[in-house]
Amino acid sequence: MDIATEVYQRIVSAKIFIDENFDQQLDLDIISRQSCISRFHFHRLFTRIYRKTPHQYLTKKRIDNAKLMLADDDLSVSEICNNVGFESIGSFSILFKRQIGFAPQYYRNLAFAKKQLAKKQPKAFIPHCFIETYKLDR
């Protein structure tokens, strides 16, 4: 079953809406309204196109942004939790650990250690094929 071009464009515009507003309180009703499609039909089509539910996509978007903020910002884990759209530090921590494999604070510590190592040994982070191709001294 093919999806009509107009409907496909509406689903894509709803995805873009999620991308631009992931830090806001969003639910299926709000997102599906952006595409002018019933929430059940929208859920079915979005899942078919992107191979994940709108909720799974939104959660991944939030977690990915949290990873960037944990690695680069000086904000607390609670502030990052709120900035990416989670309402509870508990649910954020559980979902983060489930998707990434580490608790948010542990992930932050790993990112910090990796940055420190990159400063001490920058060539250790250059792929071997690049070093060989450009004849860089190790």
pLDDT (tens digit per residue) in 89-135: 999 999 999 999 999 999 999 999 988 888 888 777 777 787 778 77
Residue 137 DSSP SS3: coil
Q: Which residues, at least 6 apart from 58, have a Cβ–Cβ distance to it below 8 Å?
A: 18, 22, 26, 31, 85
71 lies in the same domain as 126: yes
The two counts, helices (H) then strands (E), for the chain are 8, 0
Alpha carbon separation from 72 to 3, 4, 11, 56, 57 (Å, rounded): 40, 42, 32, 24, 23
Model confidence pLDDT, tens digit, residues 53-75: 999 999 999 999 999 999 987 89
65 lies in the same domain as 32: no
- Specify whether the CB–CB gap between 23 and 85 falls below 8 A: yes
CATH of the domain at 128: 1.10.10.60
What's the domain count of the chain? 2
Provide the token pair at 86. 């989670």
Q: Which residues, at least 6 apart from 91, have a Cβ–Cβ distance to it below 8 Å?
A: none
Query: Residues 74-99: what's their mean pLDDT?
Result: 95
Q: Which residues, at least 6 apart from 66, have a Cβ–Cβ distance to it below 8 Å?
A: 80, 81, 84, 92, 96, 104
84 lies in the same domain as 109: yes
26 lies in the same domain as 79: no
Residue 12 DSSP SS3: helix
pTM of this prediction exceeds 0.85: no
100 lies in the same domain as 64: yes
Structural domain boundaries enclosing 131: 59-138
Last residue of a domain, one of 12, 27, 51: 51
